[in-house]
Amino acid sequence: MKKTLVLLAGYPGTGKSYLMRQIQEAYPTFQILSPDAYKEEMWDRYGFDTMEEKEADIQKAWMEYYKDMEDMMQMDISILSDYPFSDKQKSRLGQLAATHAYQIVTIRLVADLDILYERQRARDLDDTRHPGHIAGSFHKGDILQSRDEQPCMVGYEEFMNRCKNRGYGTFALGTVLELDVTDFSRADYPALMQNLNRILR
């Protein structure tokens, strides 16, 4: 199998984590690098009392993420990474892949934005979702009393603005496969997996 960086990209709420599990089951040698997991680790480790401190934690998370990616590439490990990637990450990811002679496959998940807003809102309200994503201050062990009133809960207008202006739905590096997941039950995952298999061989 070719050395590959698979980027599960696209809008929030498109089921990237579900697809990541499917791909890893089919290709167990892939290692997962999830930017959100790095953010959550930093929030647990350092906490934050202000939005500035929260942003500083996020920057630390990205530094660790890129460092671990480079370490894996030096060992020729294929990587699977899920995030609403945008132009912010594009040049660094492309540079790492080029330096270590990796092919990149972008799997871009798209869907109706109104449906995605409802999915994202439900996820943010779920108690299993890390509080750091929506809180304005957080330290490990904190329990949010009202998730719906947290300062970083994304409202409809802000969600639409992010989706339309951050390039989530157009992000592309390497070979691009796109899948519409407006209705999960009708999304053609088998065809996507066949196309991915052809690229990886």
Q: Where are the domains of the chain?
A: 4-200
Residue 30 DSSP label: P
Say which CATH class 4-200 falls into. alpha beta
Supply the pLDDT for residue 98. 98
In our burial notation (b when 16+ CB lie closer than 10 A, e otherwise), range 69-101 reads: beebbeeebbbbbbbbbeeebeeebeebbeebe
Question: Which runs of E-coded beta strand occur in the chain?
Answer: 4-10, 31-32, 79-82, 103-110, 175-180
DSSP class of residue 91? H
- Per-residue model confidence (pLDDT) at position 161: 97
Q: What is the pLDDT of residue 49?
A: 98
Token pair in block for residue 41: 């680790």
pLDDT (tens place) for every residue of the chain, 201 residues total: 899 999 999 999 999 999 999 999 999 999 999 999 999 999 999 999 999 999 999 999 999 999 999 999 999 999 999 999 999 999 999 999 999 999 999 999 999 999 999 999 999 999 999 999 999 999 999 999 899 999 999 999 999 999 999 999 999 999 999 999 999 999 999 999 999 999 998
CA distance linking residue 123 with residue 109, whole number of Å? 17
The pTM (predicted TM-score) of the whole model is 0.95
Q: Identify the pLDDT of residue 145.
A: 87
Question: What was the pLDDT predicted at 86?
Answer: 97
Query: Tell me, what's the pLDDT at 153?
Result: 96
User: CA-CA distances (angstroms) from residue 114 to 36, 85, 117, 148, 150?
Assistant: 23, 20, 5, 18, 21
Question: What is residue 191's predicted lDDT score, i.e. its pLDDT?
Answer: 98
